[in-house]
Amino acid sequence: MEPALTEGAFDMRLTRYFLPVLKETPSEAQIASHRLMLRAGMIKQATAGIYSWLPLGFKVLRKVENIVHEEQARAGHIPIQMPVLQSADLWRESGRYDDYGEEMLRMKDRHGRDMLYTPTAEELVTDIFRAHVGSYKDLPLTLYQIQWKFRDEIRPRFGVMRGREFYMKDGYNFDLDYDSAIHAYNRHMVSYLRTYERMGLQAIPMRADSGPIGGDDTHEFLVLAETGESEVFYDSAITTLQFGEREVDFDDRDACAAIVKEWTTPYARTDETHDADLFAQVPQERQRRSRGIEVGQIFYFGTKYSEPMGATVQGPDGKAVPVHMGSHGIGVSRLLGAIIEASHDDKGIIWPEGVTPFHCGIVNLKQGDDEADAASESIYASLKALGLDPLYDDRDERAGGKFATMDLIGLPWRITVGPRGLKNGVVELTCRRTGTSEEMPPEQAVERVAQIYAPHFSSGSGVEPMANRSFHTWL
């Protein structure tokens, strides 16, 4: 994808927008995120496990993607773009072609050459590295991409949570030795903690199984949710940790290692790596057993790929040595489902401010009334002038239907404009999360919304998780 267009660049009125909301829940949707993404007109199933992303869903996908890009850049990682089709020869070289299983979609081109649709790209990026890097002086190096991938799940379900086609950030580090590669591992963990917190999520790093990627060191990042596919065991002390506004020098090995130690000292493991004896050492009142949604994973696998594929550099002593590698993934499209699972109610989605498709909804209770129309237009123009991206419901519909749509699509804040309030010089500002409303002059409502989003327009740093905010903090 290209970088997102500037917020507010388009005229966003519901009479000119494509928002095919559904009143009824499709029968195939089993979990909240799947139901709400379909009902809110975010996605439409094309075939089993494969979805079209409609404007609202695509807009949130871009928000999530941009946060990932920003935090990767902050950590010093370099974006590239690799093809979705790969030659099977590279996978045979690493020894994974026959081991990967039926989840890999394989095909032949017209010349009879074996090809595959990318499920991951360790082999391809290693081939790029070995062709262009030959000296330790060119290290360390971390390359990443955000790309559509495909795994032929035998039973795709839960919408974007376990689809066959998915949008993923996959990054790969190349380092001279073990210590340097472990710093890359730590750097990614710190970067991921920042990334998820900016999205309003608490994603807990848990010791996990490496699966077909390989390697001895790996952590999954999981969001606690009843609908999670993974059974997890953890010390509740880890849920009190916050990254907050701390500044990090990603080149400082000790600083990164200290943060990793802080987040990995409390017990937190998936069921594959659960150790009952170690867990028993956690005070009983802090022992937790739950379920979690995986939203990312980091790996260190040493020379697993570099040795068989000949990815070496000339070391300081002039001798060729295989580089130490790791790979690091974030499920960009899956994150939308995870955010909704963690943040919704019976009325619909509740977006955290960092990823909301629109910053504020404007509901005109009496479309066609000159005063209400003028006030709504003024609020809309004022928010856009401040660089915000409002969605104006200018439809000639009943008020109940407008409120239901706003609740369903989950915009964090709503300004309601009506003739009765305007006679008293006020509009109503409502927080979607708490349902709390307050009347105030229109210009004050605009100012409040601008204040709320000010942290998100700074440098992308210091964003407080939505769960820690309250309506009264801002009012």
Q: Over the stretch 107-143, which tens digit does the pLDDT of each residue have?
A: 999 999 999 999 999 999 999 999 999 999 999 999 9
Tell me the pTM.
0.91
Q: Kindly tell me if the per-residue pLDDT of 467 is higher than 90.
A: no
Confidence of residue 455 (pLDDT cuts 50, 70, 90): confident
Q: Are 205 and 263 in contact (CB under 8 A)?
A: yes
SS3 state at 42? coil
How far is Cα 426 from Cα 444, in angstroms, rounded to an integer? 9
Q: Kindly tell me if the per-residue pLDDT of 28 is higher than 60.
A: yes
Pair type for strands 427-431 and 437-440: antiparallel
**Which tens digit of pLDDT belongs to each residue from 269-308?**
999 999 999 999 999 999 999 999 999 999 999 999 999 9
Strands of 287-351, DSSP E: 287-302, 312-314, 320-322, 324-331, 344-345, 348-349
CB count within 10 Å of CB 375 equals 21
∠ Cα 210 77 466 (to 5°): 80
Q: Are 166 and 196 in contact (CB under 8 A)?
A: no
What is the helix (H) or strand (E) element at residue 419, kind and residue range?
helix 419-423
Which pLDDT belongs to residue 464? 35
Distances in Å between the Cα of 332 and the Cα atoms of 13, 24, 61, 227, 255 are 27, 27, 7, 18, 27
Strands of 114-273, DSSP E: 114-117, 141-150, 165-175, 203-207, 217-224, 230-235, 268-270
Instruction: Using CB atoms within 10 Å of the CB of residue 270, give its burial: 0 to 12 exposed, 13 to 18 middle, 19+ buried.
Output: buried
Residue 52 or residue 474, greater confidence: 52
**Which tens digit of pLDDT belongs to each residue from 342-401?**
999 999 999 999 999 999 999 999 999 999 999 999 999 999 999 999 999 999 999 999
How far is Cα 325 from Cα 342, in angstroms, rounded to an integer? 33
Confidence of residue 216 (pLDDT cuts 50, 70, 90): low
What is the helix (H) or strand (E) element at residue 431, kind and residue range?
strand 427-431
Q: Which residues contact 458 (CB under 8 A, 6 or more apart)?
A: none
CB count within 10 Å of CB 212 equals 12
Q: Are 434 and 470 in contact (CB under 8 A)?
A: yes
SS3 state at 285? helix
Burial string for 99-134 (b: 16+ CB within 10 Å, else e) reads: eeeeebbeeeeeeeeeebbbbbbbbbbbbbbbeebe
For the chain, percent of residues with pLDDT exceeding 90? 84
Burial string for 420-438 (b: 16+ CB within 10 Å, else e) reads: ebbeeebbbbbbbbeeeeb
Q: What are phi and psi of 58, to 5 degrees?
A: -65, -35
Bond preceding residue 441 cis, omega within 30 of 0: no
